[in-house]
Chain A
Amino acid sequence: MFDRKNLMKLLALTMLVSLLASACVATPPQAAAPAGEQPAAAQPAAGGEQITLRWANIIDATGQEQWKAVVDAFQAKYPNIRVVSESTAGSGAAIYPDVLKTSIASGSPPDLFFMWGGSIAQPFIDAGQVMDLGPYYDKFGWHGKFAPWVVERIKSDGKLYGVPYHALGMGFWYNKTLWNEKGWSVPTTFAEQEELCAKMKEAGMYCVSIGGKFGWHTMRVLDYFLEHHCGPELHDKLNRLEERWDHPCVIDSYATFQKWIDNGWVVPDFLTVSPDDSRFPFFAGEAGLVLEGVWYEGVLKNNEQNIADYDFYLPPTDHTPLRFSAFPEQWMIPSGAAHPDEAALFIDFITSPEVQTQFPINDFANSATIGVNPDCNEWPLTCKWREIILSAEDTYPPTDQAFVKELMDGFFEVQDAIVAKRMTPEEGAALMQRRVEEWQAR
């Protein structure tokens, strides 16, 4: 009978070990279990109940360090709320939406989460997984608190499902010092832009450095060409799929892209170079421009570059108003959040001008909140951007915030084929139109 007895013992032992393992790791000193599942009291701040607020974001290590003071200030003001940051950084924040989606789909959403604008946020809205924050806008007086175009951009069917966090615009960044040496000046028309690229080529440089790996870095350049060739009205229609994608202006845009590549104006073989690595030729003085956003001043600093050497300009489109690519980032509250009231309270706190002024961290430099101004001595270029962004008459969204991801990848596929010259501009435009039709049919 030894066999069975011992096996039973082993079974028991296995169970015990796994139980122990679970117990040991499940009861940490910091006790990670949520404080309770019942809905929060109407007056969250006054409630004595201890609450853990799960805050999903994409803040990287350096950012986490800076945010700590802000979170501490919030917890000091509301001692019954403990904010737990659940950050998923990573290059281009490519996996964050996947992680977020899984947590929501499995019924354990965070209490508030970071989201981009437009089509990236739309699936969450369509699935009914995020709250209409209208009541909180009324309650906390958020109307008028944020840059108007940002608020417009995050609206969906006239409803507000998010609270603006960042207002980000993009332009061409260049090395001022280098340009002065070479005697180059900022172009004001598209023709001048192309002339400038030709001059750079003559000087043995490339004009623009792109990292094509995820598609969106290449897209920024193509978006610029679309804005130039199609003009504001048509560009917007294209983004809304109200105009055919085999329109002549799309063909022209693809043709211009191929021309830039043929002329050697773009750092070659960039299709799977990561956007991160595309800065090497730029910093090394091998490429004259990068199409980057307002955040780039922070990138320059992290890369130990001298800010005084750099400047940016809005790419000339030959249209008025001069539109540039811009997009919002926002905070959202899942419908299944355990503590929506406290989440709104936290959002109110971190988007308030007072708090953002009191804690001038990098993440607040591009705030969507009106009345927050970065230190212009320390952040001269961000300061310059802010004026442009907050006063912008009109902007256009990057295509990846206009198209759903599946259609977007069709767009990227065509874009890559154009770059690699596997398709003529006409073929590319025709394929793009077919992808749009396939999408609309479904």
Chain B
Amino acid sequence: MPALGADMEAGKVVQWLVKPGDQVHRGDIVAVVETEKSTIEIEIFQNGTVDELVVPEGGRVPVGAVLAHVTAREPASVPGAAPVATTATPAGVVAREPRGRPSQTEVAPTAGRHALVESPLVRHLAERLGVDLDAVQGSGPGGSVTRADVERAASAPPKESGHTVPVGARPSSSPFARRLAGELGVDLAALRGSGPGGSIVEKDVRLAAAAARPDETTAEQGALEDRQAAMRRAIGALMARSKREIPHYYLSTTIEVSPAVSWLGEVNLDRPVTERLLLPVLLLKAAARAVRRVPEMNGFFVDGAFVPSEAVHLGVAISQRSGGVIAPAIHDVEQLSLDELMVRMRDLVTRARAGRLRSSEMSDSTIMVTNLGDLGVDSVFGVIYPPQVALVGFGRMREQPWAENGMLGVRPCVVATLSADHRASDGIRGGRFLTEIDHLLQEPGNL
């Protein structure tokens, strides 16, 4: 059971997607695990054959427990992939290693990632969309197939309607529906979905449960409340630990974003709605690039010392519709173009909301960004996610009076804030970091 976030202590196997005898490839999604906060798709980190599923569906085990035995076909390590037990490596050992400890392999430069013909995520996407990868022309580095290539290939044949289930995709059900079905003892396979594309939604499960057991509507209510309470406890425990252990300092600066806003306006003018860029993407990219100048913001505080990270894996705080916040990582953000970052963000927000995040996204962010401003506040002073050492907050974009060169005008502005760990840096470096973000945003075309 991998640690899917610093606040996770145990997880429940909701679903196995493989069975003994199955061949698995690194990056394949082999199971769905439910934590206090969300449901996460568990990726396997190497090629091999599944020997045994140790934890049955519905089983709840602590972080570090063996989920399954896999006979490795070849040694391979994917940065950030989930530790699923292998017979070659004692799983307990692999899985109990603290997540986020920046070993050389975990924060290794990204050359390896891009050198792959296609990433696991791309392969998974292709599978889901029913795209044959051999038939796709790669536009990525070294002719590799990128996510965009797959999406283009998937959308190439004219769609009859927006609601067809892609060929090869399993009939979908929302994670919430799956969870509910588990709690209520409803067999999803026997249901007919009424959601988009025939997917099974909450209502279907509740109706089926009500039909089977008309008197037990309160039981499900109780289970939901338990889950909410467990989630609040998990968030509370991690944040209390952060406040107890991390000597936070806080800084803020107001950034004038009219260059960014007008640049976006020009860029978006000629684009179809699907390729539109949003301001938060510029903010994220600027934060990731500013780390280069002030590396003390990026990395982990472990065993009494700060260990900077070479790569920038940006944790993005995303609010969940069921309540709570989840913070998946976007890997190697400074190497992504704004367009790529926009695609990743849209995908990530969608999957976070749908409870379809993957294990490799849950473990290794090196710095956190929160963008609460989207929902209306001017500034946010966050609580650092241990073992990280900094959290950047962006508030709402607002027009405000702006004095410059003795003249007063009205400009769009964003308040950027920094919560940083005094064990890793001082205020002057934190200030340098925010200033660098400001500078980068003044030339959005170079981001």
Report if A and B associate in a common complex. Answer: no
Residues of A whose CB lies within 8 Å of any CB of B are none
